[in-house]
């Protein structure tokens, strides 16, 4: 196994992912020095206060200078500009990676800015919460979660192995994919669920016959689960939609087709068809729990008594 | 406040709701004797073993005999048959209620079987988990959750007050609605979310380009949240679809319309429109947390370390 340690790591973007990465690097003692950069001065200041970076600098170029590993943790719509900015400061032999939820567009936007002799290995830790900002990060975010690396053809094997070892030391399990396939997989496991969640919360918010206060009060009957995903960072999700258009439209098309079939079963009272669908989906949950990707506790283990401590 | 105690309570249907109700009655010492009935002998035997009822009987009629409160906790497609069966055994002055997720159909199917002098007050505790069966019940299920009563015109005020006091003693907060309005509210806060969840899990299961094992492995990026709702009891959900058709079709229609608009924004790269939608939905989550209807902890408080204890 490769050595997961780096001398100097630059984290560009200090929100949930960048912050959690900083915490995980500290926990694993994976770098001698962690330099951070974020666009906003307040974020930089806060990151330093929390201490998941050793130093913050006002430009991405400065952060990347002399770094052995540069991890770009900004919304995918901004990775191209960051790459252009750091292009001149990257040191020979450095590894540049990212954490974006789409990979084809990242290869397209960052790729041309990576100088010869620098190892560009796009990546995507499949981990997150609905929260954002430097205060939302924590060291355990990546524990037991998958991190997908999508090395481009001709990537240096040693550099890929070193980056994989690094993510494993951060708690992740590492997998490899083609960028295009990654984007298709993420379209169904992540992008479609988020869009559906945003959509249903929007639909509920627009009703004239049911008040917002009724939606809130009775949300524990199902609706509340969707509001978690629908409170994720808007910039991040706008950029994902704009940068994984084809795969998302493909999945939305399939979902809508299936929804029309379901609607038809309800309209025509096809009890057997409904029962069959509702039975088939149960086993998927079981497999997710067996794979260690969710808790087996009912209601995600939410404690009803804790929740009701805060009464309206 | 009315006295929430009853001499003899009959629970018909001993699954998640009937079981939890039995536990809550025991916890609050709300009855001198709890008699239970379930269709399946194994369920009856198990209920008695667990002890959330004092006695089980092989017929609904026998359970209802001499009961002061009869709570029907079976799928809404079966409430009419249960009402027909207990019709002859109901004692004058008894209260009959249910726990079904639709109310108009319950009034239609049970109403004609309720004799004069018996108080029929349909109800719906807005509480549950994705699990089912007698082992899934627990006393705290109703704590802090709303219970909606939909008394029919001319309902006896004292009986309604007594039933409300009973649900409050089980931990619930009580609200009142017209059956038709209840069905509309539940269509958006519960029925639509479940159908959407069942649908997306079905769509993912049908893909040829992404394998099932990929869907399972990377489900923590959003998809897994939907699988919880999509593992709920198939019979219960079939019956809800068949018995709240109009309201569900109305909500599905609105949802599909909105989804088409969202799809169009993605196709045409309308970043501002996407950003606006994704921002608006955030505040709904905040209000739900403030109303005590969900936990504020990120990821519903799921502990990544606990989850990853079980590795595939």
**What digits encode the pLDDT tens for the residues A62-97?**
999 999 999 999 999 999 999 999 999 999 999 999
Query: What confidence score (pLDDT) does residue B147 get?
Result: 97
Confidence (pTM): 0.93
Query: What confidence score (pLDDT) does residue A307 get?
Result: 47
Across the interface, of B248, B263, B299, the residue whose CB is closest to A252 is: B263
- Asked if the C-beta of A208 comes within 8 angstroms of chain B's C-beta atoms, the answer is no
| pLDDT tens by residue, A205-222 | 999 889 999 999 999 899
User: Are β-strands B123-125 and B119-120 bridged in parallel, bridged antiparallel, or unpaired?
Assistant: unpaired
| pLDDT tens by residue, B183-220 | 999 999 999 999 999 999 999 999 988 999 999 999 98
- Mean pLDDT, range B242-255, rounded to an integer: 97
pLDDT grade for B311, boundaries at 50, 70 and 90: very low
Does B27 have pLDDT greater than 70? yes
Q: Would the CB atoms of A259 and B199 count as touching at under 8 Å?
A: yes
Q: Which of A220, A251, A297 to substitute to test the interface with B, most B CBs within 10 Å?
A: A220
Burial of A283 (0-12, 13-18, 19+ CB in 10 A): middle
Does A305 have pLDDT greater than 70? no
- A10, A35 contact by CB (below 8 A): yes
d(CA A30, CA A36): 15
Tell me the torsion sign for CA atoms B9, B169, B151, B14.
negative
From A107, A101, A108, select the one nearest A17 (Cα to Cα): A101
Query: What confidence score (pLDDT) does residue A1 get?
Result: 76
Q: Average pLDDT over chain A, rounded to whole?
A: 95
d(CA A246, CA A250): 6
- Mean pLDDT, range A117-145, rounded to an integer: 95
Instruction: Tell me what percent of the residues of chain A surpass a pLDDT of 70.
Output: 97
* Residues of chain A found within 8 Å of residue B292, distances taken between Cβ atoms: 307-312
* Residues of chain A found within 8 Å of residue B202, distances taken between Cβ atoms: 258, 277, 280-281
In angstroms, the Cα distances linking A195 to A203, A240, B56, B258 are 12, 10, 47, 11
Minimal-distance CA residue of chain A relative to B232: A282
DSSP-H helix ranges across chain B: 16-28, 41-50, 60-64, 79-86, 104-110, 157-169, 179-186, 192-205, 212-217, 223-229, 234-243, 245-267, 271-280, 282-290, 304-307
Instruction: Tell me what percent of the residues of chain A surpass a pLDDT of 90.
Output: 91
Does A309 have pLDDT greater than 80? no
- B146, B121 contact by CB (below 8 A): no
Query: What confidence score (pLDDT) does residue B303 get?
Result: 60
| pLDDT tens by residue, A259-269 | 999 999 999 99
From A74, A76, A97, select the one nearest A14 (Cα to Cα): A74
- Mean pLDDT, range B241-256, rounded to an integer: 98
- Asked if the C-beta of B29 comes within 8 angstroms of chain A's C-beta atoms, the answer is no
Does A18 have pLDDT greater than 90? yes
């Amino acid at each position: 196994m490769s050595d997961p340690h780096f001398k100097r790591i630059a984290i560009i973007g200090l929100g949930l992912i960048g912050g959690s990465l900083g915490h995980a690097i500290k926990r694993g003692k994976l770098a001698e020095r962690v330099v951070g950069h974020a666009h906003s001065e307040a974020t930089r200041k806060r990151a330093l206060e929390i201490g998941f970076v050793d130093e913050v600098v006002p430009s991405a170029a400065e952060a990347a200078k002399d770094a052995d590993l540069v991890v770009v943790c900004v919304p995918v719509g901004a990775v191209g500009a960051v790459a252009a900015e750091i292009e001149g400061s990257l040191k020979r032999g450095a590894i540049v990676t990212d954490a974006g939820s789409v990979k084809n567009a990242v290869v397209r936007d960052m790729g041309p800015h990576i100088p010869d002799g620098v190892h560009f290995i796009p990546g995507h830790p499949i981990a997150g919460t609905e929260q954002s900002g430097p205060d939302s990060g924590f060291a355990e975010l990546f524990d037991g979660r998958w991190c997908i690396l999508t090395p481009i053809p001709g990537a240096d094997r040693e550099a890929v192995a070193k980056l994989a070892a690094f993510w494993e030391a951060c708690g992740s399990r590492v997998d490899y994919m083609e960028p295009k396939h990654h984007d298709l997989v993420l379209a169904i496991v992540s992008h479609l669920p988020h869009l559906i969640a945003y959509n249903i919360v929007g639909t509920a918010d627009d009703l004239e016959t049911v008040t917002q206060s009724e939606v809130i009060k009775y949300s524990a009957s199902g609706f509340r689960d969707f509001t978690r995903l629908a409170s994720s960072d808007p910039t991040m999700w706008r950029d994902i939609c704009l940068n994984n258009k084809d795969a998302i439209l493909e999945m939305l098309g399939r979902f809508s087709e299936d929804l029309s079939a379901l609607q038809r079963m309800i309209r025509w009272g096809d009890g057997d068809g409904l029962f069959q669908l509702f039975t088939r989906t149960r086993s998927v949950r079981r497999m997710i729990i067996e794979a260690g990707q969710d808790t087996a506790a009912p209601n995600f283990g939410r404690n009803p008594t804790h929740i009701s401590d805060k009464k309206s």
